Chains A and B, each alone.
Chain A
Amino acid sequence: MIPWWRSKRHLRPHLLLLGLTGAAVLPLALPCAARAQGVFDAIGAEVDRVFEQSKPAVVRVRAQQGRFQTVGSGFFVDNQGTVVTAAAILGLSSDISVDYNGLDLIARVVGVDLRSGVAVLHVFSGATPFLAFAKTAELHTATPVVGVGYPLNLPAAPTFGMVTGFDSQYLDRFFATTHLRTSLAISPGQIGGPVLDGHGQVVGMIVMAADERKFTYALPSAAIQKILADFQQHGRVEHGWVGVGVDPQSDAKAVRITQIFQGAPASASGLQPGDVVVRIDRREIVRPCDVIDASFFARVGEELPIVVSRNGKLMTFKFVVSERPTQIPVVLPNPDPAFLPPSGDAQGLKVGGKPQP
């Protein structure tokens, strides 16, 4: 009887080819699979490291609202017991407590800034773990971030995502300053929690979940630091105001002034509607959101130089920044005199905007 390997002699080249192919493919395929698995393991390990490192400084915040409580998250920002959280958790309550290390501690409200949605609490004077702030300027789209907070009544949990954009408006309304748009998935109770970078430093605070929780907005760390500094220096947040309105639909090359608000520092400056804002202090203005950020970070009482372009000629104006009014007077577009009261004041909305000489 002929052995099978002799009867299948014609298959030898095929077997040889198959063997060589396998020998060539396996060294390529195995490291790729191992590398892919290694990347996932590395990401998981980094997220876990950031979470475990930051968890002691993240607290649960409770506010008694009559018969029920509103509950969210917050985090220590110094070793003296200062907690930053979301103003939405507190509401109008003054009965605030913080769950820290298994203890239910009474918290004092240092201040609430409704414009940015930040509340600052003080728990006690003692050594507390805290989170350091990162430089928001180093963030870019697709920067990986980790959110930490207390979902529902569950223990602190991490959520992993990335920065997906920088928005100054949501739908047709404008934020107080540019917010971080992230892909973090959050649950009720995680509002007020920190958003951390790969070093475990705070790049923002979770303030809202948008579009049915498809993405999450975070207030940048620079804005939180500005608010903390204002509370420390003035006991409240002072938002700058010059009194100049710009076209929110301005294109990328020209942010045009549309109105000068009456009684504002700019009303008697010589600025005119139609002027193109080129620079505010050291901030170059190319989009309307640059104006929003310049306004948010302007310090009340400081002299603020503004460079505008009028008929192709650059002009510099200087203002002493005043405090932003709680209600901005609204200027009606092309007001029809037939519908205006004689005094020009309709239902509390001041109608004006005529540039002053």
Chain B
Amino acid sequence: MDSSSLPPEVRDALRARRAMFAQSPSVLPHLHRRIRVAAMERTSFRERLSAWAAALAAVRPAAYAGACAVLAVTLTLAHFAIPAHSGRTMVAARTTADTSYSLNEVGALPPSLDQKIDALISSVSAPGAPHSATAGVDAHYVLTSTPASYDSVVAF
């Protein structure tokens, strides 16, 4: 782009920017310097906290012990407020989803729990193995799902 066609004020601004970049060839040192300052600030904050804690422990040990107790109670409450197996449920849910996905990939619907049990029962014929009426045995194990007798009216 030919700068001679630009307005004079724009041309001056561009010249000033080039001069700035000529003095500071890269913005990276500037960023690096800022990051270092920030890191030093964090370090100094940690040091200030350490110094404050040490001073408090030396001058007012009772207050320091009280602060420790409050922190301990807070940490304890936070520990017991989180269910112990909350993470495990999420892992189990993901595992189930993965299993379903892999079964769907090969074009088969995942068998229900009852189907798995029926398959297991029909494949086991040893004495003591659970079986149902569908397993070719002449015993029907009763499980009623309705009451023996019930009324449609309330009368006495």
The chain A residues found within 8 Å of chain B, CB to CB, are: 10-14, 16-17, 20-21, 24-25, 28-29, 32, 62, 65, 67-72, 86-89, 114-117, 151-154, 169-170, 172-176, 179, 186-192, 207-210, 213, 217, 240-248, 259, 261, 280, 288, 291-292, 294-295, 298, 328, 330
Q: Once the chains bind, are A243 and B79 in contact (CB under 8 Å)?
A: no
> Which label, helix, strand, loop or mixed, suits the secondary structure of the A interface?
mixed
Specify which of B46, B65, B69, B149 is in contact with A117 (CB 8 Å cutoff): B149
Taking the closest CB of chain B, its distance from the CB of A267, in whole angstroms, is 13
Q: Once the chains bind, are A246 and B154 in contact (CB under 8 Å)?
A: yes
Q: Take A25-B72, A152-B131 as given contacts and tell me if A298 and B156 are in contact as well, using a CB distance cutoff of 8 Å.
A: yes
Q: Take A13-B50, A16-B57, A28-B76 as given contacts and tell me if A241 and B156 are in contact as well, using a CB distance cutoff of 8 Å.
A: yes
Question: Which A residues lie within 8 Å of B152 (CB)?
Answer: 172-174
Q: Residues 52-85 of chain B: 1 if any A CB is under 8 Å from the residue's CB, otherwise 0?
A: 0110010000000100110111011001100000
Complex-state Cα separation, A68 to B140, whole angstroms: 7
Specify which of A20, A32, A70, A295 is in contact with B80 (CB 8 Å cutoff): A32
Q: Once the chains bind, are B145 and A243 in contact (CB under 8 Å)?
A: no
Specify which of B130, B138, B142, B145 is in contact with A72 (CB 8 Å cutoff): B142
Specify which of B46, B69, B132, B145 is in contact with A208 (CB 8 Å cutoff): B145
Specify which of A29, A65, A189 is in contact with B79 (CB 8 Å cutoff): A29
Question: Which A residues lie within 8 Å of B75 (CB)?
Answer: 21, 25
Complex-state Cα separation, A288 to B53, whole angstroms: 70
Complex-state Cα separation, A65 to B140, whole angstroms: 10
Q: Once the chains bind, are B144 and A186 in contact (CB under 8 Å)?
A: no
Complex-state Cα separation, A20 to B53, whole angstroms: 13
18 contacts between A and B (CB under 8 A): A12-B50, A13-B50, A24-B68, A24-B69, A69-B138, A69-B139, A69-B140, A87-B148, A116-B149, A152-B131, A170-B146, A174-B150, A175-B150, A207-B144, A247-B154, A280-B156, A291-B155, A330-B153
Who on chain B is nearest to A89 by CB? B142
- Counting chain B CB atoms within 10 Å of each CB, the highest count among A152, A169, A189 belongs to A152
Q: B143 at interface (Cβ–Cβ under 8 A)?
A: yes
Specify which of A20, A172, A208 is in contact with B68 (CB 8 Å cutoff): A20
Q: B147 at interface (Cβ–Cβ under 8 A)?
A: yes
The chain B residues found within 8 Å of chain A, CB to CB, are: 46-47, 50-51, 53-54, 57, 65, 68-69, 71-73, 75-76, 79-80, 128-133, 137-156
Q: Once the chains bind, are B147 and A208 in contact (CB under 8 Å)?
A: yes
Given A191-B144, A246-B156, A295-B155; 16 other pairs, CB 8 A cutoff: A16-B53, A21-B68, A21-B71, A69-B139, A86-B148, A88-B142, A115-B149, A152-B130, A153-B139, A176-B147, A208-B145, A242-B156, A246-B154, A295-B156, A298-B156, A328-B155
Q: Once the chains bind, are B155 and A245 in contact (CB under 8 Å)?
A: yes
Taking the closest CB of chain A, its distance from the CB of B141, in whole angstroms, is 4
Question: Which B residues lie within 8 Å of A89 (CB)?
Answer: 142
Q: Once the chains bind, are A288 and B154 in contact (CB under 8 Å)?
A: yes
Q: Once the chains bind, are B144 and A17 in contact (CB under 8 Å)?
A: no
Complex-state Cα separation, A261 to B65, whole angstroms: 81
Specify which of A115, A190, A280, A292 is in contact with B148 (CB 8 Å cutoff): A115
Q: Once the chains bind, are A173 and B150 in contact (CB under 8 Å)?
A: yes
Complex-state Cα separation, A116 to B132, whole angstroms: 27
Q: Take A29-B76, A170-B150, A280-B156 as given contacts and tell me if A209 and B145 are in contact as well, using a CB distance cutoff of 8 Å.
A: yes
Q: Once the chains bind, are B130 and A153 in contact (CB under 8 Å)?
A: yes
Complex-state Cα separation, A242 to B154, whole angstroms: 12
Who on chain A is nearest to B137 by CB? A153
Complex-state Cα separation, A188 to B80, whole angstroms: 40
Q: Take A173-B150, A245-B155, A328-B151 as given contacts and tell me if A24 and B145 are in contact as well, using a CB distance cutoff of 8 Å.
A: no
Question: Which B residues lie within 8 Å of A114 (CB)?
Answer: 148-149
Who on chain B is nearest to A28 by CB? B76
Specify which of B79, B80, B143 is in contact with A191 (CB 8 Å cutoff): B143
Q: Once the chains bind, are B72 and A174 in contact (CB under 8 Å)?
A: no
